[in-house]
Chains A and B, each alone.
Chain A
Amino acid sequence: MNAEQVKELKVHATNVRKMALEAVYSAGAGHPGGSLSVADILTYLYQKEMRVNPKDAKNLDRDRLVLSKGHCSPALYGALAEAGFLPKEDIKTFRHADSYLQGHPDMKGVNGVDMSTGSLGQGISAANGMALAAKMDKKDYRVYAILGDGEIEEGQVWEAAMFAAHYKLDNLTAFLDFNGLQIDGDVTEVMNPTPIDKKFEAFNWHVILIDAHDFNQIEAAVEEAKTIKGKPTLILAKSIKGKGVSYMENQAGWHGAAPNQEQYEQAVSELDRYLAELEVR
């Protein structure tokens, strides 16, 4: 990827972050921390990688994405809006009683959402089902799943990990947004899931370690996953919870809290400043 392409993706990702924050601020509730940490991965997939079309979002041959950590819906809706799947002005209706933008993704109501998620551990299983369907139908679409690091404390994730390897689902790429924090604090203190890479390797997955905020590394990992035959790939993406907003970064308290007006305005001005810097460069 050349510098210009990276810059374009950074602009998109910053727009996604702004929309995620707008959603949470407008709702007065939601999950900003993990939305900001996963924004670059979602941006890359929807802007650069996935074979999807906003005007034909249910096409049977499309690539699919399951946000297994469904509480980060603000980032998913932002990424979908940035990619033309839904009107950007709808973002501010997030979690409102008259809106279709539910607190957690609803595949029946939102153009581009491939699976309803929110109850942790289930999305990765659904992604397995989609990857299996592709194999059965001899179709070449790929399936992406995004897990949280706290989420892998759910036993079902490991049932699904066993299943994906057993059925050699090499058309499945799972990202793990490793921001290190869950609601009650540091993941290693709440219920230590490490070493995550060795666990997935022991479950017969191909594992790639990257920086979740480096588009060149995301691209290299996604491309590498496509070359791996006979096993699924986990991209263990080290991220910063709250990435892009100074006072939210690495703070567990911003897992599920909405900013007040002053905080929201500060966050937007920080992201706008970053956008301006990108234009100047």
Chain B
Amino acid sequence: MSYQIGEKVATREAYGKALVEFGADENIIVLDADLSKSTKTDGFKKAYPERFINSGIAEGNMMATAAGLASCGKTVFASSFAMFAAGRAFEQIRNSIGYPHLNVKIGATHAGISVGEDGATHQCLEDIGIMRTIPGMIVLNPADATESRLAVKAAIDYKGPVYLRFGRLAVPTIFDHSYQFEIGKGVELVSGNDVTLIGTGLMVPAVLEAGKILAEQGISARVINMASIKPIDREIIVKAAEETGAIVTAEEHNIIGGLGSAVAEVLCETVPVPMLRVGTEDVFGKSGKPNVLLEMYGLDAKNIVEKAKAAIALKKA
């Protein structure tokens, strides 16, 4: 299974297809909470009906059931919207999955403001923050279909809890079949010396675009894709701080608790350099077309360019 560069595919689509592709393993069980058509686990349901379990609209119960299955040796994927997985079922994930470090993968779709028309109740902008505070939890936020597929495979190969964050909106494929994904590793996509732009999820195309705009203006921006938010790649962050002296993070998440916070934590403890965060600025979302909302909340290349210039200006003369 491979995706063509430029092809627009929602990461939830790639998640569903990857479950089918890697789902022949009899040990893999998929649970969903009445959202299989939206989370795209319905493909797995069709391919392996005997290993698909609908828990009904009861996410807390689904997560603890997943824990029980995992305790019997199963590799379990439990899916819902990010809001109801990380949000509603936080405590079940923390106590029944995280504490005993069970082999459950939380496949959370419809993360972020690009959910669009459903509005604030369904636009989860807190999940990265919530999930990465759970000891031992891996948090992955892939940028496109290619990376989503590889993240699912990596999650299956890893024994322990993993939170996988996917989006509803179709996004351009930016990586081809040669792309390598590794838990705990960031990937430098563009080299540069003046500033580093670190993006995650659907903000990766936006940081790439911002990098181009900056280049046209004579500013050399390094661009990094950080799909693995926990563990985070400290080495690539430290190197970027040392070599470019200014950092901007971009995520479809509250600026509190997510990628920006994770990067700031590393910088503060190693090479403190000016950094600015692009994300929703501690506000709830609202209903609207995804692309209109992304622009309205500053989740676009234009804002990243401004933040990059501001970060450069903050460098000590």
Q: Which residues of A contact B (CB under 8 A)?
A: 60, 66, 106-108, 114-116, 118-119, 121-123, 125-134, 136-137, 155-156, 159-160, 162-163, 166-167
Residues B73 and A60 in contact, CB atoms below 8 Å apart: yes
Residues B100 and A128 in contact, CB atoms below 8 Å apart: no
Residues B71 and A125 in contact, CB atoms below 8 Å apart: no
Q: Which single residue of chain B is at the shortest CB-CB distance from A128?
A: B65
Nearest CB of A to B102, in Å: 9
Q: Per-residue CB proximity of B41-64 to A under 8 Å, as 1/0?
A: 000000000110101101011111
Select A119's contact among B50, B68, B72, B91, beta carbons within 8 Å: B91
Complex A-B, nearest 8 residue pairs according to Cβ-Cβ distance, in ascending order: A129-B68, A125-B64, A133-B72, A126-B68, A159-B61, A159-B58, A129-B69, A129-B65
Nearest CB of B to A103, in Å: 13
How many angstroms between the C-alpha atoms of A60 and B65 in the bound complex?
17
In the complex, whether B4 has a CB less than 8 A from a CB of chain A is no
Residues B99 and A126 in contact, CB atoms below 8 Å apart: no
How many angstroms between the C-alpha atoms of A132 and B74 in the bound complex?
11
Asked whether A116 and B99 contact (CB < 8 A) given A129-B65, A130-B68, the answer is yes
Residues B100 and A108 in contact, CB atoms below 8 Å apart: yes
Asked whether A126 and B64 contact (CB < 8 A) given A116-B95, A118-B95, A162-B56, the answer is yes
Q: Which residues of B contact A (CB under 8 A)?
A: 29, 50-51, 53, 55-56, 58, 60-74, 91-92, 95-96, 99-101
Q: Which single residue of chain B is at the shortest CB-CB distance from A126?
A: B68
26 contacts between A and B (CB under 8 A): A107-B71, A108-B100, A114-B71, A115-B68, A119-B91, A121-B60, A125-B60, A125-B62, A125-B96, A126-B96, A128-B65, A129-B65, A129-B71, A130-B71, A131-B68, A132-B69, A133-B68, A136-B29, A136-B50, A155-B60, A156-B60, A156-B61, A159-B60, A162-B58, A163-B61, A166-B56
Residues B55 and A122 in contact, CB atoms below 8 Å apart: no
Q: Which single residue of chain B is at the shortest CB-CB distance from A132?
A: B69
How many angstroms between the C-alpha atoms of A125 and B50 in the bound complex?
20
Q: List A contacts of B61 (CB < 8 A).
A: 125, 128, 156, 159-160, 163
Residues B68 and A127 in contact, CB atoms below 8 Å apart: yes
Residues A126 and B65 in contact, CB atoms below 8 Å apart: yes
Residues A163 and B72 in contact, CB atoms below 8 Å apart: no
How many angstroms between the C-alpha atoms of A252 and B100 in the bound complex?
31
Q: List B contacts of A167 (CB < 8 A).
A: 53
Q: List B contacts of A107 (CB < 8 A).
A: 71, 100
How many angstroms between the C-alpha atoms of A108 and B95 in the bound complex?
13
Nearest CB of A to B137, in Å: 15
Nearest CB of B to A160, in Å: 5
Asked whether A115 and B100 contact (CB < 8 A) given A129-B70, A132-B69, A163-B65, the answer is yes
Residues A130 and B100 in contact, CB atoms below 8 Å apart: no
Q: Is the interface of A mostly helix, strand, loop or mixed?
A: helix
Nearest CB of A to B22, in Å: 18
Select A60's contact among B50, B69, B72, B91, beta carbons within 8 Å: B72
Nearest CB of B to A157, in Å: 9
Q: Which residue of A60, A129, A132, A134 has the most chain B CB atoms within 10 A of its CB atom?
A: A129
Extra contacts besides A126-B64, A131-B68, A163-B58 (20): CB < 8 Å: A107-B71, A116-B99, A119-B95, A119-B96, A126-B71, A129-B64, A129-B71, A130-B68, A132-B53, A132-B68, A132-B69, A133-B68, A133-B69, A133-B74, A136-B29, A136-B50, A159-B61, A160-B61, A163-B55, A167-B53
Residues A156 and B72 in contact, CB atoms below 8 Å apart: no
Residues A130 and B60 in contact, CB atoms below 8 Å apart: no
How many angstroms between the C-alpha atoms of A166 and B63 in the bound complex?
17
How many angstroms between the C-alpha atoms of A139 and B71 in the bound complex?
15
How many angstroms between the C-alpha atoms of A190 and B304 in the bound complex?
54
Residues B72 and A122 in contact, CB atoms below 8 Å apart: no
Q: List A contacts of B67 (CB < 8 A).
A: 115, 122, 125-126, 129
Q: Which single residue of chain A is at the shortest CB-CB distance from B95?
A: A119
Q: List B contacts of A118 (CB < 8 A).
A: 95
Nearest CB of B to A54, in Å: 18
Residues B72 and A128 in contact, CB atoms below 8 Å apart: no
Nearest CB of B to A175, in Å: 17
Asked whether A129 and B66 contact (CB < 8 A) given A60-B73, A134-B72, A136-B50, the answer is yes
Q: List B contacts of A129 (CB < 8 A).
A: 64-72
Nearest CB of A to B150, in Å: 28
Residues A106 and B95 in contact, CB atoms below 8 Å apart: no
Q: List A contacts of B99 (CB < 8 A).
A: 106, 116
Q: List A contacts of B72 (CB < 8 A).
A: 60, 129-130, 133-134, 137
Q: Which single residue of chain B is at the shortest CB-CB distance from A167?
A: B53
Q: List B contacts of A115 (CB < 8 A).
A: 67-68, 71, 96, 100
Nearest CB of A to B157, in Å: 21
Q: List B contacts of A162 (CB < 8 A).
A: 56, 58
Residues A130 and B96 in contact, CB atoms below 8 Å apart: no
How many angstroms between the C-alpha atoms of A66 and B69 in the bound complex?
13
Q: Which single residue of chain B is at the shortest CB-CB distance from A137?
A: B72
Residues B68 and A116 in contact, CB atoms below 8 Å apart: no
Q: List A contacts of B50 (CB < 8 A).
A: 136
Q: Which single residue of chain A is at the shortest CB-CB distance from B31?
A: A129
Q: List A contacts of B101 (CB < 8 A).
A: 108
Nearest CB of A to B84, in Å: 13
Nearest CB of A to B258, in Å: 26
